[in-house]
Amino acid sequence: GAVVSQHPSRVICKSGTSVKIECRSLDFQATTMFWYRQFPKKSLMLMATSNEGSKATYEQGVEKDKFLINHASLTLSTLTVTSAHPEDSSFYICSARIPGRYGYTFGSGTRLTVV
């Protein structure tokens, strides 16, 4: 139980284009989801908290206009990287709290490469 599905797993895009990453909770409802970014050989860093039906909360230093988050339903949150540049290339991963417990479950991640 408590499975989070993330798509796509890999995406390569041209500089200046936008890319959308989806995160779905398959067997539970998630009013809150979390988006992380991971640089090579670095820790996962929280980018933003996605709240169903309201605006996302961004961590300090994360550009709201570049990383658009939409949490339109209780099972879907999307992260759109707008006007992507090579420095946005990274591993993005979403997470949700496991219902009824204190732990978190994670998606399989998206490897974004901007060329």
Partner 1 sequence: KQEVTQIPAALSVPEGENLVLNCSFTDSAIYNLQWFRQDPGKGLTSLLLIQSSQREQTSGRLNASLDKSSGRSTLYIAASQPGDSATYLCAAPSGNTPLVFGKGTRLSVIA
Stretch touching partner 1 by CB under 8 A, among 12-20, 67-75, 79-87, 89-97: 89-97
Q: For strand 90-97 and strand 76-81, is the pairing parallel, antiparallel, or unpaired?
A: unpaired
Helices then strands (H, E): number in the chain? 0, 11
Shortest separation between residue 91's beta carbon and partner 1, angstroms: 8
By CB under 8 A, residue 105 contacts partner 1: yes
By CB under 8 A, residue 13 contacts partner 1: no
**11, 20, 22, 44: residue in contact with partner 1 (rule CB under 8 A):** 44
Stretch touching partner 1 by CB under 8 A, among 13-21, 62-70, 78-86, 88-96: 88-96
* CB contact set of 77 (below 8 Å; sequence gap of 6+): 22, 23, 30, 33, 35, 50, 52, 69, 70, 71, 94
By CB under 8 A, residue 7 contacts partner 1: no
